[in-house]
């Protein structure tokens, strides 16, 4: 892994200050921070909480590949990607992507690509725990599988 890339899977609160510090450089005119948060309502249903699980060795490796690919496509100086694993309440940050680039246009393009591609390629799975007690696994690759878990979430 490059010294310009920081990848983390964590069971604790994401430290956004640390993410920004990891990408700080005098060579960049743009520093971007994207935060994915747990929202209260999804597709008209009230969310109680989320649970994330991952195949951690592969998730880290895929996140490193994404960072390297983004750095090859855009003039990015540094990238930091952190994803939470475990139980998250509404309002908590589940993913942070920070990057630095010479100009904002490249930074915004790279950041958008990183979050969209992370959600498609990285083996991190999300379970939506609904306020009505049901839960549902959500991942772009799970569209052909039954997704509703009728068991009550404890």
Helices (H), the chain: 16-23, 56-73, 104-121
Record the pTM: 0.88
Tokens (6 digits) for 19 = 């993410």
Rounded to whole angstroms, how far apart are CA atoms 64 and 58?
10
| pLDDT greater than 50 at residue 121 | yes
Query: Smallest Cα–Cα separation from 138: which of 74, 31, 20, 52?
Result: 52
pLDDT in tens, 40-66: 999 899 999 999 999 999 999 999 999
Structural domains in the chain plus CATH codes = 5-149 (3.90.1170.40)
- Whole-number Å distance between alpha carbons of 115 and 117: 6
């Amino acid at each position: 892994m490059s010294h310009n890339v920081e990848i983390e899977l964590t069971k604790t609160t994401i430290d956004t200050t640390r993410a920004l510090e990891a990408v700080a450089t005098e060579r960049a005119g743009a520093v971007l921070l994207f935060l994915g948060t747990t929202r209260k309502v999804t597709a008209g249903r009230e969310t109680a909480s989320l649970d994330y699980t991952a195949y951690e060795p592969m998730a880290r490796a895929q996140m490193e590949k994404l960072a390297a690919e983004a750095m090859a496509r855009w003039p990015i100086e540094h990238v930091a990607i952190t994803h939470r694993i475990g139980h998250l309440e509404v309002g908590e940050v589940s993913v942070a992507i920070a990057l630095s680039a010479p100009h904002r246009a490249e930074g915004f393009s790279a950041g958008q690509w990183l979050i969209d591609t992370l959600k498609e390629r990285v083996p991190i799975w999300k379970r939506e725990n609904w306020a009505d007690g049901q839960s549902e696994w959500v991942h772009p690759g799970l569209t052909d599988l039954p997704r509703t878990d009728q068991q009550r979430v404890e």
